[in-house]
Amino acid sequence: MASIILPDLPKGKEFEEYISAFFQSGGNYYIERNIIEREIEEVLELDIITTDYTSFPPEIKLLEVKSRDWHFPDLFKVRGWMDYLSIDKGVFIASKERENLNFFREKAKRLNIDLVVIPDLNKSKEALSELVSNKSIEVVDISTWRFSYWVERNLLKRLNHKKKSHPDNKCFKALEDYYFKVNNGIFFTENIVQKVHELYSTFQQFPRISAKCGNELIGNNFDEEYDILPKQIYDDTYYKCSYNDIQISTFIEHRARLAILKNAIDYKLYKKAGVENKTQDVPFWKIAGLDFEISLLDLLPPSFKKGLDEISKHEYFHKYPVFWQWFMWLFGGFILKDYEEKEYEVLSQKTEIPIDEIPNALESCQILFPQDDGWFMDLSPNSNIKMMKMFPVPFMGVGANYRRLLYTQSGKFEDLELTGMHTLNDLIKWNNLVVEVLKNE
């Protein structure tokens, strides 16, 4: 079984990922990272945005992370970003001490910024405890989130390399555009109705992009319409667990659906809270001479609007963004059926959704994005696993490792109590792909 370890002293992006993992593990936060705006002369890059779903309406904070030297103007820069984005609260986290630190903290407080300095990572919990709602943060959660971010970073790095080295392949440019719009471009739209509409329009602009990429890989025209992956590409992706381009495309497709779900739920929450500037519908077109308007909400598919109304009746629907972020990128989009009761218990602990409501949370993706035969496939009896369809295998490997650490004292896959002829082999194959992704810097 292949393995790889995290750096003991994270710097740069790794320090940002460490801080992000701490917040992700420490409360009901939805985390957005590395958000870039290219429309302005100087590129604006936001390190971390947290959305806190314990507040009503959700509270947003901007986090700036510095592992290098920092100075007083850095605080004013964060305050400027907050004003530009209409975000009330900020956090500035540095790894290097400064003289007269209390003076800087006091000045930062006047800017509505919490200043935190963490020269020793072993003291992170103490330094950040007042900023997170969950005080019992698990070390295994922090380390697994760091691995998950590392996987994401390397997948995107590979995509960028593929786009440059294969300029004639259309799939790489399309995937980069898709990811940029989902992660970056749409973030800066303040009105949530516009944001949901733009996200869904982007989702519709790239239909079944994994199928299109898979067909281009075997020499077919990318611009044709395809419903499924070619069999040889599907087998290479999910049976051989190869590090191919479908691992990137499926990640971006699921990331897009999660962004839509998150912002659609935000719309319902802000609407309920009466925040008009964020939720006011936008007229799209007015028919001349008639008192009739088509709005952006009207342009969303009826099935999606119906689904959103349906899940908004669930008691804990406001926690679904956090749930799906945990379930996809930490649990790996699957349920280990031999531990199903324990799986639901852990998901409940991490997301604060009661155990008996976890099935509703798992069903919400199908309600919003209806798919024939549902979003889950049961691999039993050969592999006693229930998994999301077309999910990126590297993140399944992240989830496999999480189970290894959660459910065994030895930390060995072989000590998991599993049934099914191929369950253990599947977990190990997924793990080995994670290692390959992380070693390919």
What whole-number distance in Å separates Cα of residue 413 and Cα of residue 265? 37
CATH number where 61 lies: 3.40.1350.10
* 238 is a domain residue: yes
Mark whether 176 and 227 lie in a shared domain.
yes
- Residues 172 and 261 placed together within one structural domain of the fold: yes
Q: Are residues 97 and 210 in the same domain?
A: no
Same domain, 127 and 167: no
User: Based on the domain organization, do 76 and 155 belong to the same domain?
Assistant: no
What per-residue confidence (pLDDT) applies to 310?
Answer: 96
Under a CB-based contact definition with an 8 Å cutoff, are residues 241 and 387 in contact? no
CA 204 – CA 267 distance, rounded (Å): 20
Of the three residues 115, 137, 159, the one that is the final residue of a domain is 137
Residue 289 phi, psi dihedral angles, 5° rounding: 80, -5
Q: Hey, is 229 helix, strand or coil? A: coil
Containing domain of residue 53, as a range?
13-137
Q: What is the DSSP string of 105-124?
A: HHHHHHTTEEEEE-SSGGGH
Q: Flag whether pLDDT at 287 surpasses 50.
A: no
State pLDDT tens for residues 232-276: 999 999 999 999 999 999 999 999 999 999 999 999 999 899 888
pTM for the complete prediction?
Answer: 0.94
- Look over the chain and give the mean of its residue pLDDT values, rounded to a whole number: 91
Per residue in 375-398, pLDDT (tens digit) is 999 999 999 999 999 999 999 999
Which of 111, 137, 163 is the last residue before a domain boundary? Answer: 137
**Six-digit token pair at 72?**
């007083």
Q: Is 290's pLDDT higher than 60?
A: no
Please work out, in degrees rounded to the nearest 5, the angle formed at the alpha carbon of residue 352 by the alpha carbons of 122 and 368. Answer: 120
- Short-list 388, 292, 51, CA closest to 195: 51
Q: Are residues 66 and 166 in the same domain?
A: no
Q: For residues 132 and 94, what is the distance between their CA atoms, to the nearest angstrom? A: 17
**Residue 43, both tokens:** 């590129």
* Total count of domains within the chain: 2
Q: Does residue 292 surpass a pLDDT of 80?
A: no
Q: Which of 89, 108, 137 is the last residue of a domain?
A: 137
123 and 56, same structural domain?
Answer: yes
